[in-house]
Amino acid sequence: MDIIGVGSVPVVIMNGFFTGAVMGLQLSRALATYGATGQIGQLVAITLVRELGPVLTAIMIAGRNGSGIASELGSMKVTEQIDAMRALGTDPIQKLVTPRLIATAVMLPLLTIVADFMGLFGGFVISMVLLNITAAQYWSTAWRALQYNDVVQGLLKPFAFAIVIALVGCYYGMNTTGGTQGVGRATTQAVVVAFIWIIVITFFIGRIFVNLG
């Protein structure tokens, strides 16, 4: 949990802040066309909490921790440490997979919350500096825009992504063959497959919540 959660905080803060700032920057031009720059908080909040926060954080964690899980377990596999674990009478699933799954499932939603707040803050900095929007206006529109539905899907998604990232990383790691070259291959496969699943899952969860209204 320490490595996956606390270790990822700086990168998630950076990622979240600049995502929000870039959104603020880009949306300000479009909103200015309609004279609606005052609604920037609303747009940043909805986009971040529903989609970008969970997806970008999951992609960061897949790249940072999914790859780490695959390469660590892959190295253990090719150096016979997993065989040793089984031979010594212990279950590698229980010893290696379960803790990583729990750690990722607990930490990714929390990291997503951090990323969402940092993104909102990034959007706020841009709004205040470039658009002269007051803090009260920005935060009140942002807060009022969010509904129960948005928060639920914004937390459900990272939970689903976490399961995918951990299981994909463990699967490719524990099925590594072919020495150190195989470890590299397993790591790449784990990251690519996790990325694809993240995009696919976000679509389907998004679809369900759109239908729910």
Residue ranges in contact with another protein by CB under 8 A: 76, 78-81, 83-91, 95
Nearest to 107 by CA among 35, 31, 6, 196: 6
User: Distance between CA 186 and CA 204 in Å, rounded?
Assistant: 27
Beta carbon nearer to another protein, 78 or 146:
78
Tokens of 164: 């995918």
**Cβ at position 27, least distance to another protein in Å:** 46
**Cβ at position 32, least distance to another protein in Å:** 55
Residue 6 neighbours by CB distance under 10 Å = 11
Burial of residue 184 (CB within 10 Å: 0-12, 13-18, 19+) is middle
Beta carbon nearer to another protein, 84 or 196:
84
Beta carbon nearer to another protein, 95 or 207:
95
Q: Where are the alpha helices (DSSP H) in 131-178?
A: 135-145, 148-174
Beta carbon nearer to another protein, 86 or 144:
86
**Cβ at position 99, least distance to another protein in Å:** 13
**Cβ at position 36, least distance to another protein in Å:** 55
